Amino acid sequence: MRLKRHVQLLESTLKHVSARPFLSSQCNRCHFSSTSGASSPEQIAVLGGGISGLSSAYFTALEFPNTKITIYERSEELGGWIRSKRVKVPGGEVVFEQGPRTLRPAQNSLVTAMMIDYLDLRSQVLFTQQNSAAARNRYIYYPDRLLLLPAPGSNDPLVNWLRLANSGLLDGVWKVLTEAWKPGRPANMTDESLGSFLSRRIDKRPVQNIASAVMHGIYAGDIWQLSAKTLAGWLWHQEGRSGSITRGLWRMNEVDPPVKGFLALRHPYDVDLFREMRAETDGIPTDFIQQLASCSTFSFKNGLCQLTDSLEAWLEKDSNVTIKKGCRVNSFTKAKDGLQQVVVDVGDDPNRTTHNYDLVISTLPTPDVTDYVTVMTVNLYFPTPNLTPVQGFGYLIPQSVPFEQNPERALGVIFDSDAITGQDTAPGTKLTVMLGGHWWSGWQSFPSSSEGVEMAKSVIRRHLKITEEPIAVNATLSENCIPQYTVGYEERLKGFAIGAQNEFGGRLRVVSNQFNGIGVNDCITGAWDMARNLRGEGWKSKSCGLDRVLDERPWVPAEHWSPYVRKKE
Ligand SMILES: C=Cc1c2[nH]c(c1C)Cc1[nH]c(c(CCC(=O)O)c1C)Cc1[nH]c(c(C)c1CCC(=O)O)Cc1[nH]c(c(C)c1C=C)C2
- Summarised one tens digit per residue, pLDDT across range 277-297 is 999 999 999 999 999 999 999
Q: Can you tell me the ipTM of this complex? A: 0.95
Cα angle value 42/44/48 (rounded, 5°): 170
> Three-state SS across 114-146?
HHHHHCCCHHHEEEEECCCHHHHCEEEECCCCE
Reply yes or no on whether the pLDDT at 263 is more than 90. no
Question: DSSP state, 393?
Answer: S
For 75, other C-beta atoms within 10 Å of its C-beta total: 13
Q: In angstroms, rounded to a whole number, what is the distance separating the alpha carbons of residues 559 and 553?
A: 18
For the stretch 203-239, what's the b/e string if a residue is b when 16 or more beta carbons lie within 10 angstroms of its beta carbon?
A: bbbbbbbbbbbbbbbebbbbbbbbbbbbbbbbbbbbb
296 CA to centre of ligand 1 in angstroms: 13
Overall residue count recorded for the chain in this entry: 569
374 CA to centre of ligand 1 in angstroms: 14
99 CA to centre of ligand 1 in angstroms: 9
Tens of pLDDT, residue by residue over 219-259, are 999 999 999 999 999 999 999 999 999 999 888 877 666 66
- Strands of 306-352 (E only): list them: 321-324, 329-334, 342-346
Reply yes or no on whether the pLDDT at 527 is more than 50. yes
Reply yes or no on whether the pLDDT at 472 is more than 80. yes
With 0-12 / 13-18 / 19 or more C-beta atoms within 10 angstroms meaning exposed / middle / buried, residue 187 is: exposed
Reply yes or no on whether the pLDDT at 305 is more than 90. yes
Residue 521 in contact with ligand 1 by CB distance below 6 A: yes
Q: Whose CA is nearest to atom 40 of ligand 1?
A: 412
Under the banding of pLDDT at 50, 70 and 90, the label for residue 264 is confident
Under the banding of pLDDT at 50, 70 and 90, the label for residue 217 is very high
Question: DSSP state, 367?
Answer: T
> Three-state SS across 448-507?
CHHHHHHHHHHHHHHHHCCCCCCCEEEEEEEEEEEEECECCHHHHHHHHHHHHHHHHCCC
Between residues 237 and 21, the one the model is more confident about: 237
Residues β-bridged to residue 414:
394, 432
Residue 465 has φ and ψ, to the nearest 5°, of: 60, 30
Q: Whose CA is nearest to atom 33 of ligand 1?
A: 217
Q: In angstroms, rounded to a whole number, what is the distance separating the alpha carbons of residues 296 and 174?
A: 28
What's the pLDDT score for residue 16?
Answer: 32
Q: Whose CA is nearest to atom 21 of ligand 1?
A: 218
Tens of pLDDT, residue by residue over 102-118, are 999 999 999 999 999 99
Between residues 483 and 157, the one the model is more confident about: 483
Q: CA torsion angle for 96, 99, 101, 107 (degrees, to 10)?
A: -170
What's the pLDDT score for residue 6?
Answer: 42
